[in-house]
Amino acid sequence: MFAKVIGWLSIAVLILTAYRIFYTIVGLFSRSKTFPETDRRHTFGIVIAARNEAAVIGRLIESIYEQDYDRSLYKIFVVADNCTDDTAELCRSLGAIVYERNDPNHARKGYALQHLFSMIDRDFGIECVDGYLIFDADNLLRPNYLTEINKAFDTGAEVCIGYRNAKNIGENAVSAAYGIHFMRASSTWHRPRSLFGLSTHIAGTGWAVRSSLIRDGWSCTFLTEDTEFTMKNVAEGHTIEYCEAAEFYDEQPHELSTALRQRTRWIKGRLSCFLRYASSLVLGMFSFKSKAKTRVSCYDMFFYLFPGGLFTALFSTMPAVVQIIYDAIVQDSVGESFLSVMKTVAISLSLYWIGTVITGVLIVIRERRHIHCSTPRIALHLLLWPWFDLVEVPLSILSLLHHVEWTPIKHDRPVSVEDIESQ
């Protein structure tokens, strides 16, 4: 009876999330949404949260100054958060407005943004610009980034994300898996949602928000402040647009230990967001005061946020564990049950690995113009990249048992856009 209940629950989740197959087909085989040309130019505040980023932040600011956009229409704001290097001095020398913050007890990006926006409000007023663009210090912008975001803003976009590409996709199997993962997000999440006029989700960095949405300050301070901001705004009926033409580069972790630590934080943060916002999203699904697309977006975000890895870990293994325990107690033997479980696990993992590699090949073909890496190298990384998804199951269990803190990730790739695109 217990196994049947678990089976029916799993089938229900599969049915409720089957729309993702449609997303994948549309995203891989449809053209991207574009925004019309406009002569209007919006003003922007470019916001950067940095902690000991002197090695890379200069390149980011250079890429901002190299935009094909009137420099008088944007300001650069930096929060040097708990820094022990010369990040603040370097940014000031490059013309940025810098605020220093020292609070080791609240050392994470959400608190840094909260402080920075409060300082901007104090000295300039939050609505001194039309919108803010949020970046990490290791990012690089392609020269047309601001122009493309401006087009989206001119259509009325309230929140808008750009195309996230990897600086170092060809470095090793760790950074490549991150790069393919974000390309998958573009292909199977952001692009189809934008084509259907639905809200997508923010993924850490490289996004813009209208100043009117944060006139009361920044309030998202979870481990994953990007996910928290997404769910808060979708539940309130706001749409997060996707502007694929606004491309930027992001340095990905290249050490497995760093990747596992970051992924654990992502999982823990998303679980916290699910517990906080699941009820709001469910109410949004059934609110007839909302637009139909808002209700669909709430449904979509609910299952995007749903802890699938944890669900898989707990519910797919529970019947097997119960059977092994039963055999050990009643039949005084676990050999046959254990071997049967191991065989099933091996077959399932093999099929999943093959399926994920095939999906990765389709994604790389679709996104090939964004990949700055040799074909043999990316082909090798495609064979290995399924590890990125498979570690979610054990990390989901670990996130329940382990207290997770935000820790900074070292960035040490001071390259330019030209360096990346010449590879």
Which residues share a beta bridge with 77?
47, 97
- Distance from chain centroid for Cα 248: 14
SS3 125: coil
- For 23-59, how does the pLDDT look when each residue is reduced to its tens digit (9 = 90+)? 999 999 999 999 999 999 999 999 999 999 999 999 9
Structure tokens at 364: 């790389």
pLDDT score recorded for residue 278 = 95
pLDDT score recorded for residue 312 = 67
pLDDT at 380 over 60: yes
Tokens 């990747």, located at residue? 259
SS3 269: helix
Confirm if 349 and 390 have CB atoms less than 8 A apart: yes
pLDDT score recorded for residue 186 = 96
pLDDT score recorded for residue 5 = 67
Burial class (CB in 10 A: 0-12, 13-18, 19+), 339: exposed
Confirm if 225 and 49 have CB atoms less than 8 A apart: no
- For 174-229, how does the pLDDT look when each residue is reduced to its tens digit (9 = 90+)? 999 999 999 999 999 999 999 999 999 999 899 999 999 999 999 999 999 999 99
Nearest to 236 by CA among 262, 199, 261, 264: 199
pLDDT score recorded for residue 239 = 95
Separation between Cα atoms, residue 349 and residue 416, nearest integer Å: 39
Nearest to 230 by CA among 196, 260, 288, 190: 190
Of all residues in the chain, what percent carry a pLDDT higher than 70? 91
- For 57-96, how does the pLDDT look when each residue is reduced to its tens digit (9 = 90+)? 999 999 999 999 999 999 999 999 999 999 999 999 999 9
Which residues share a beta bridge with 216?
none
Torsion from C-alpha of 395, 396, 397, 402, nearest 10 degrees: 70
SS3 49: strand
CATH code of residue 295: 3.90.550.10
Domain that holds residue 32: 1-423
Tokens 């629950």, located at residue? 9
Residue 345 banded pLDDT, cuts 50, 70, 90: confident
Strand order in the sheet with 207-210: 97-101, 74-81, 44-50, 131-136, 207-210, 159-166, 240-250, 140-141
For the chain, how many structural domains are there in total? Answer: 1
Separation between Cα atoms, residue 318 and residue 48, nearest integer Å: 45
User: Which of 87-96, 191-200, 294-303, 304-313 comes out lowest in average pLDDT?
Assistant: 304-313
- For 246-287, how does the pLDDT look when each residue is reduced to its tens digit (9 = 90+)? 999 999 999 999 999 999 999 999 999 999 999 999 999 998
pLDDT score recorded for residue 335 = 59
- Distance from chain centroid for Cα 28: 19
pLDDT score recorded for residue 339 = 72
Confirm if 307 and 392 have CB atoms less than 8 A apart: no
Mean pLDDT of the chain: 91
Confirm if 90 and 57 have CB atoms less than 8 A apart: yes
Q: Terminus-to-terminus CA distance in the chain, angstroms?
A: 58
pLDDT score recorded for residue 334 = 55
Burial class (CB in 10 A: 0-12, 13-18, 19+), 53: buried
- For 381-392, how does the pLDDT look when each residue is reduced to its tens digit (9 = 90+)? 999 999 999 998
Separation between Cα atoms, residue 260 and residue 254, nearest integer Å: 11
Separation between Cα atoms, residue 333 and residue 325, nearest integer Å: 9
Torsion from C-alpha of 240, 242, 246, 252, nearest 10 degrees: 90
Which residues share a beta bridge with 191?
none
pLDDT score recorded for residue 353 = 95
Confirm if 282 and 302 have CB atoms less than 8 A apart: yes
Which residues share a beta bridge with 210?
131
pLDDT score recorded for residue 240 = 97
pLDDT score recorded for residue 328 = 58
Integer-rounded Cα Rg, in Å, for the chain is 22
